[in-house]
Structure 1
């Protein structure tokens, strides 16, 4: 579990994060939701240590991260996997070499152990035959899967995904979502996903935190997100016609259920 408490961050007098607190549980898809410029990526960078908060604390399974000793921070960092928005593969390296890179940097594995781990991770993401390909030979979805393989290669405990569906077609996006979900549950990883994709949120969001202008306005399970009374969240969710139509269908169905329940109750009363 990762816990954050009262996180504040200001850049050049601009308040980007304003007192954000929350818990991100292991084995679940924890999602940071919000429009562009709401502070999602900055919060993610604070959590992984790329940006230092002005105020606040971050703990990884009970261990303080930001202000701890260097060796403790390095130990935690070795357990962090990162899937970048653009996959961030090294163009001059093969797929095998890209996945092996963090193993060389972060582990004491010998060459044989690294090769076995690379083969395992590529097989896990369905790319066991792509090891000798260059990134330029891969589709967008394949690059994302290589990125996931590289992230989990060092046996990560914490996985951070920055807009994993960015630039993907709907079917490929679903495949990537399902893969991240499977890996999260299979290895009991604490996964945090930055997204503005409502399809991903509704289908896979075990815990969703909605940010608006640097503040946390709502947090909960995706099954309850369409029934909130938070105006800013509703404006975000129902900003397109499809979601508005889905909401109307849900409201009509609920009215019909209530009417049917009332009819059944009336029938019972008449038969007494």
Structure 2
């Protein structure tokens, strides 16, 4: 479980996050949603330590991350897997080398152990026999799957995904959502996904927090989000033409 308590963040004279508190449970796909510019990615970066909030606490299974010493922070970071918005693959490295990178950086595994682990996670995301391909030789959806393989190649307890469906067509987005959901439950990790994709929200939103202008306005799941009673959230949900038509039928 990851807990955030009273997180606030300001850049210059602009306050981005206001007193955010939430619990993200292990073995569930936890989503942070909201329109662009609402502070979703800043909250994610605050949780993983890429941004330092002025106020608040972040706890990883009870461990106070922000107050931890260098050694404990390093240990927690070794338990984290990250899927970045653009995939963030190294263009000059093969698929195998990209996935192996965290093992080179964080473990003392032998070369044979690393290759076995790389092959295992590539197989898990449906990319067998792609080891020698370059990122430029695979599709956008495949790059995201490589990113997932790299995120889980270590023995992780926490998985963070920043806009995993960005730039993907609806069919591929659905496949990525399903893969994240399956891995979350198979590995029993605490997964946090930042997204504004309503298909993801309705498909894998087991626990959802909704941010608007840096504040948490609602918390729930995909089963009760359509009955939130929050006008701001309803405007976000029904922004698309399709969802506006659905709204009229409810």
TM range (shorter): over 0.9
Shift of 1:206: 0.3
Aligned to 2:247: 247
Q: Find the residue that maps to 1:15 and give its secondary structure.
A: strand
Whole-Å separation in 2 of the counterparts to 1:86 and 1:6: 29
Gaps of 5+ in 1: 252-272
Q: 1:165-184 counterparts in 2 under 5 A?
A: 165-184=165-184
Quick check: which has more Rg, 1 or 2?
Answer: 1
The answer to whether residue 137 in structure 2 is matched with residue 137 in structure 1 is yes
Deviations 1:93-118 (A, max 9, x none): 00000000000101111111101000
TM-score, normalization by structure 1: 0.91
Q: Partners of 1:247 and 1:233 in 2: how far apart?
A: 13
Q: State the match for 1:24 in structure 2.
A: 24
In 1, the alpha carbon distance for the partners of 2:6 and 2:88 equals 31
Q: After the TM superposition, which residues 169-248 of structure 1 pair with which residues of structure 2 at under 5 Å, given as runs?
A: 169-248=169-248
Cα distance in 1 for partners of 2:173, 2:129 equals 21
Residue correspondence of structure 1 range 29-48 to structure 2 within 5 A: 29-48=29-48
Aligned partner of 2:84 in structure 1 is 84
Q: Is residue 73 from structure 1 mapped to residue 73 from structure 2 by the alignment?
A: yes
State the Cα distance separating 1:10 from its structure 2 match: 0.3
- Size of the aligned set, in residue pairs, is 250
Offset of residue 229 of structure 1: 1.2
1:96 corresponds in structure 2 to: 96
1:57 maps to what in 2? 57
In the alignment, the residues of structure 2 paired with residue 131 and residue 174 of structure 1 have an alpha-carbon distance, to the nearest angstrom, of 24
Query: Does the alignment pair 1:151 with 2:151?
Result: yes
In structure 1, distance between residues paired with 2:203 and 2:115: 35
Cα deviation, 1:167-198, whole Å, max 9, x if unaligned, reads 00000000000000000000001000000000
Distance in 2 separating the partners of 1:53 and 1:78: 21
Which string of whole-angstrom CA distances, capped at 9 and with x for unpartnered residues, describes residues 127-152 of structure 1?
01111100000100000000000000
Deviation of the 1:248 alpha carbon: 2.5
Report the secondary structure of 1:161's partner residue: strand
CA displacement 1:203-228 (0-9 Å, x = unmatched): 11000100000000000011100111
Determine which structure has the larger helix proportion and give its number.
1
Asked whether 1:123 is paired with 2:108, we answer no
> Structure 2: where are the runs of 5+ without partners?
none
Alpha-carbon shift at residue 241 of structure 1 (Å): 2.0
Structure 2 Cα separation of the partners of residues 146 and 18 of structure 1: 35
